[in-house]
Chain A
Amino acid sequence: MNVLLTLSIAATLALFFGVLRLKNLATPVIVIGLLASLVFNAMEWNNTTSIFNDMMLYNNFTVAFASVGLFITLILVLFYSELSAKHEFHLPEILAIMLFGTVGGIVLLSFRNMVMLFLGIEILSLSYYVLAGIRKQNVYSNEASLKYFLMGAFSSGFLLMGIALIYGVTASLNLNEIAGYVNNAKGIVPPYFLVGVLLILSALLFKVAAAPFHFWTPDVYDGAPTLITALMSSVGKLYSFGAFVLLFNSCFIPLIADWEVILWIAALLSMSVGNITALYQKSVKRMLAYSSIAHAGYMLLALVGINNLTSGSVLFYALAYALASVVSFVVLYIVRDKKGSYDIASFNGLAQKNRMLAVVFTISMLSLTGIPLTAGFFGKFYIFNSALQSGYYWLTAFAVINSFIGAYYYLKPVVAMFASKSDEEITMPALSNSLLILLGILIILIGALPGFISGVI
């Protein structure tokens, strides 16, 4: 609860500093708010608290997921305020909306009531609709925002319909009571309960950008400002997957026979659609958007055979993916700022001009591919391990083949960086430079010592 309060107050203060000619104070307030909420969040460890008559429950699962989310948001806020501040008239608002989105995300990680699930998804999505369209003069940004909003509104409708059907059967919105009903029913529930599960499933698949509900992803990720895309693809995915695991783990496991088929088809489709379409992309931003669909597919693999390894492996994968995706989008932002295009050709000769950028970008690409000694490798390792434990051998084999396809397109910009020549200088502001180095080191460190994170939950 302290975390939510701190975030909301910091965001509101930043808004008012923005209009009171104290704009310079807005970023420090946001950063302090995020740091304070990281501390408050850590203090909740092993200290399970129920909030608002079982509406929410703050437990270790929440703390682990939320600390990753808060950390990545902090990093992105720092990047945004240094790299993008000169273009930005509305910086306090943008940072404040990022924080409001985080509030929604943390609600999603701690809900114990269907109403809070809906509320969390709405707070998170509304922030992202606005952030996607924050460049008011840019048509692509407008398109992204409008598309995301229309599709998101439909998926919220699906979610509500699903919640209504489940309420109709169980006469409760509380997760514990729904779980009690499902356990008592011993696998035989009315068909409209299953329809409800299916509707909720499709809404959540939409939110995590998994096929066949992925059609908004490329356009939205492509049109939104690059650093906002980094936010949506890293923490947005983390929160949505957290909600996914939380809901299915606590309520629907006895009905696994009814929904696992849908889930593995979604995982299969996401992996193949994401990877194969990414092969054909010329723009690195679009390629990363498709790769994010593929990564949603890998993460669904852990949910297909849901077991006690699921939440740990999803957390690890989400952390590894978030780190790599933040690095790659930030480098892309810098390159595009210099060269004016998202094409792979913009990366030509980067290694010659700014070795640090090239090395960090290579590390992030290797991590997305899943090469050993990077965080991405152990992310995939834990996910596949979790799927194998539940006996999904051929699905895991398929995912491994897909990782090999991924290697081809992830290495395209890397090859461009090292193989070609260029004569344009690229300089980096000091803070972003050190943050990128920090992230690069973190990716390798987590890859070398995965035990620190994997044993947490």
Chain B
Amino acid sequence: MNSDLSSYFPIALQFILAAGFVGLTMFVTHVVGPNLRTRKKLKPFESGINPSGNARQPFAIKYFLTAILFVLFDVEVIFLYPWAINYRELGVYGILTMVIFLGLLLSGFFYIIRKGALDWDQ
């Protein structure tokens, strides 16, 4: 078994290349590009809307909860795609597995609803 540090040389090379690329492009753009600073250009980009107020202020936990739950269910849906593509090959076994998976997912969804996590008015 080769456990020399030298076997990690490609990884180190990768690191050096990645860091080098970032450093080089940043250096080149700063040197080559025109250096025109205006107030509008230095403002944070907010999809064209003028930013207002301080970003570090507390906001309702409801947004956070909804976002997290969205991510959860959104990611779970990704598992449906490979199943849809291999639907014929997987056959009955695939259907049973997915029924269990979706059943667990649905019961989680049921739990969230009953717990009132998506109740916006509370």
| Residues of A close to B107: CB separation below 8 A | 16
Smallest beta-carbon distance A372→chain B, Å: 51
Q: How far is the CA of A190 from the CA of B3 in the complex (A)?
A: 8
| Residues of A close to B5: CB separation below 8 A | 190, 192
**Per-residue contact bits, chain B 1-45, to A (CB 8 Å; 1 contact, 0 not):** 101010010000000000000000000000000000000000000
User: Are B3 and A19 touching (Cβ within 8 A)?
Assistant: no
- Does A168 sit within 8 A of B, measured CB to CB? yes
| Residues of B close to A19: CB separation below 8 A | 110-111, 114-115
User: Are A168 and B114 touching (Cβ within 8 A)?
Assistant: no
Smallest beta-carbon distance A365→chain B, Å: 41
User: Are A15 and B3 touching (Cβ within 8 A)?
Assistant: no
Smallest beta-carbon distance A193→chain B, Å: 8
| Residues of B close to A171: CB separation below 8 A | 1, 3
Tell me the residues in window 161-219 of chain A with beta carbons closer than 8 Å to chain B beta carbons: 168-171, 190, 192
- Does A430 sit within 8 A of B, measured CB to CB? no
Bin chain A's interface residue count.
10 to 19
- Does A257 sit within 8 A of B, measured CB to CB? no
User: Are B3 and A20 touching (Cβ within 8 A)?
Assistant: no
Which residues of chain B have a CB within 8 Å of any CB of chain A?
Answer: 1, 3, 5, 8, 107, 110-111, 114-115
| Residues of A close to B8: CB separation below 8 A | 168
Residue of B nearest to A16 (CB): B111
Which residues of chain A have a CB within 8 Å of any CB of chain B?
Answer: 15-16, 19-20, 168-171, 190, 192
Most buried by A among B8, B107, B111: B111
| Residues of A close to B111: CB separation below 8 A | 15-16, 19
User: Are B115 and A170 touching (Cβ within 8 A)?
Assistant: no
Q: How far is the CA of A15 from the CA of B3 in the complex (A)?
A: 48
Q: How far is the CA of A4 from the CA of B52 in the complex (A)?
A: 52
Residue of B nearest to A90 (CB): B115
Q: How far is the CA of A169 from the CA of B1 in the complex (A)?
A: 9
| Residues of B close to A20: CB separation below 8 A | 114
Smallest beta-carbon distance A66→chain B, Å: 26
Q: How far is the CA of A16 from the CA of B106 in the complex (A)?
A: 13
Q: How far is the CA of A190 from the CA of B7 in the complex (A)?
A: 13
| Residues of A close to B3: CB separation below 8 A | 168-171, 190
Residue of A nearest to B112 (CB): A19
Smallest beta-carbon distance A100→chain B, Å: 14
Smallest beta-carbon distance A181→chain B, Å: 8
Residue of B nearest to A181 (CB): B1
Most buried by A among B3, B5, B110, B115: B3
Q: How far is the CA of A15 from the CA of B112 in the complex (A)?
A: 11
Residue of B nearest to A169 (CB): B3
Smallest beta-carbon distance A29→chain B, Å: 15
Q: How far is the CA of A192 from the CA of B1 in the complex (A)?
A: 16
Q: How far is the CA of A169 from the CA of B7 in the complex (A)?
A: 10
Q: How far is the CA of A163 from the CA of B5 in the complex (A)?
A: 16
| Residues of A close to B110: CB separation below 8 A | 19
Smallest beta-carbon distance A88→chain B, Å: 15
Q: How far is the CA of A168 from the CA of B5 in the complex (A)?
A: 9
Residue of B nearest to A20 (CB): B114
